[in-house]
Amino acid sequence: MSATMDPKKTRVMIWRLLGGAVVGAVASLLFFKFIGEPNMDLNDPSVLLAAAAGVTYLLIGLMVGLGVAAPKTGAHFLNVEDAEELREERHKIGTSSFACILIGIFVLALALAGGAIGSQAALIVAVVCLVGIVALTVAGARRYDELTRQLALEGSAWGFFATLTLIGGWAALAHLGFVSWVEPLAFVGLLVFLQLLTAFVAVGRRGMLLPR
């Protein structure tokens, strides 16, 4: 409770959120301006959704990876107690950051297919990323403590229920002819966005998004 009522920690958390929002917005604008517009059909909603999902995961992975690589700097913009916590958790956090980067590259490769890169190249990149994601997840799970393991299970459960309700419900309506089914690329974008959202829900329910 003290963490939620500490004005100093609250101000720090607000500045972190604002700083992250600014960095994310600027990076996204630059990406869509210099990479997206020349190489993607951003008028296609499915491409735009997938590109947004890929950029989001890529930025999260890079920011967390930077924090792990430079703990003193990372302690200023990541929600941790101090640099020492980043050093102690570097293997676990680092593995997760690499997985986020690979997910971002995976979705972006699909969004770029037919534009900047050919379909065969996109397929190769996608397969390599998926193999890397599975390998990192398995390797990272071996280092999980009880809390992290429980969070992973809760996040997976929330992800399943959200996917079943939203995407499953949409698929049912499409099957019955009430709505149109989404494009495969939009499906991938929705899926990874839902997983990210439900991961935040699982962590937030444990109070781990509060200022530290």
- DSSP string computed for 119-147: HHHHHHHHHHHHHHHHHHHHHHHTT--HH
pLDDT classification of 5: cutoffs 50, 70, 90: low
178-200 as b/e: b if 16+ CB within 10 A: eeeebeebbbbbbbbbbbbebbe
In eight-state DSSP terms, residue 181 is P
Q: How far is CA 102 from CA 99, 141, 204, in A?
A: 5, 17, 24
pLDDT tens for 33-74 read: 888 888 888 888 899 999 999 999 999 999 999 888 888 888
User: What pLDDT, on the 0 to 100 scale, is given for residue 211?
Assistant: 67
Residue 176: Cβ-neighbour burial (10 angstroms; 0-12, 13-18, 19+): exposed
Q: Quick one: average pLDDT of 101-110?
A: 95
Highest mean pLDDT among 68-82, 142-156, 158-172, 195-209: 158-172
| Contacts for 106 with CB less than 8 Å, ≥ 6 apart | 54, 125, 126, 129, 130, 133
Residue found by looking up tokens 């839902």 in the block: 194
Task: Compute CA distances 98 → 57, 59, 128, 184, whole Å.
Answer: 10, 11, 13, 25
Q: What does the block give as tokens for 137?
A: 């997840």
Which of the four pLDDT bands, split at 50, 70 and 90, describes residue 131?
very high
Question: pLDDT at position 97, please?
Answer: 92
Going 63 to 69 to 71 to 72, the CA torsion angle's sign is negative
pLDDT of 92 reads 83
* Gap between the Cα atoms of 197 and 191, Å rounded: 10
More confident: 9 or 46:
46
Residue 212 has pLDDT above 70, yes or no: no
pLDDT of residue 3: 45
131/127 Cα distance (integer angstroms): 6
Top mean pLDDT of 64-78, 86-100, 126-140 is at 126-140
* CA–CA separation, 6 and 201 (whole Å): 23
Determine the straight-line distance between the first and last CA of the chain, rounded to whole angstroms.
11
